[in-house]
Amino acid sequence: MLLQIFAIIMSYLLGSISFSVLLAKMLKGIDIRQHGSGNAGATNTLRILGKGPAIIVLCLDVIKGIVAVWIGKWLGGDSTWIPALCGIAAIIGHNWPVYFHFRGGKGIATTIGVMVTFSFIPALYAGIIAILIILVTRYVSLGSLVFVALTPVFLLILGGYAASIFWTSLIICLFAFWRHRGNIVKIARGCENKIGSRGSSKRGKQGV
């Protein structure tokens, strides 16, 4: 039990490492949360720092999710829920990082890492559709929501996955929609920031 609790805490602390904040500080000496959309994620990194740093942030945030799940697998014993809780803990850490006054991102990149580790094919199918949505609409937030919404759907369609994985994907989906509630309102109004846009509002922050 102690190892399992330790695994969840470790995953939260790992998730709390905000690579967007660290990279912006290193490269420009700024707090990225005070610029652009105010979001500590890959999309705002793209807006403020450019493509290279954004790709680095995206990859590292995805890796956080992957490592968190494996921490749960290594220390969770036979439980299928401990890896799931570790993945969720990493996402919570990304969104509310203890190292950065609990102001982080929205956890989509870390969610990708978690769901790809649990269910690669369903996440891949959902990801392809999400990317197409982003390419057509240029709304990263919409693509992010499509990804988290379709992953549990593909899990059901394809079958063969543990119940804990489906319920984890559903919890993450609901969590992501709640985190993006401002974006949803802005999309409905047609005033959501599009990828590549440097203008932004700190209400309804876009990004992963």
Q: Using CA atoms, how far apart are residues 58 and 83, in angstroms rounded to an integer? A: 22
Tell me the HSE value of 101 on the side-chain side, using a 13 A CA sphere: 4
Evaluate whether 44 touches 38 at the Cβ level (below 8 Å): yes
Record the tokens describing residue 157, joined without a space.
């369609």
pLDDT at 157 over 60: yes
Give me 127's structure tokens. Answer: 């990801």
Alpha-carbon span 190 to 208, nearest angstrom? 19
Domains in the chain: boundaries: 2-189
55-79 confidence digits (pLDDT tens): 999 999 999 999 999 999 999 988 8
Q: In this predicted structure, what is the pLDDT of residue 204?
A: 42
pLDDT tens for each residue of 87-132: 999 999 999 999 999 999 999 999 999 999 999 999 999 999 999 9
Q: CB burial class (10 A; 0-12, 13-18, 19+) of residue 180?
A: buried
Q: Whole-number mean pLDDT of the chain?
A: 91
- Give the pLDDT band of residue 203 (cuts 50, 70, 90): very low
Average pLDDT of the residues in 10-22: 97
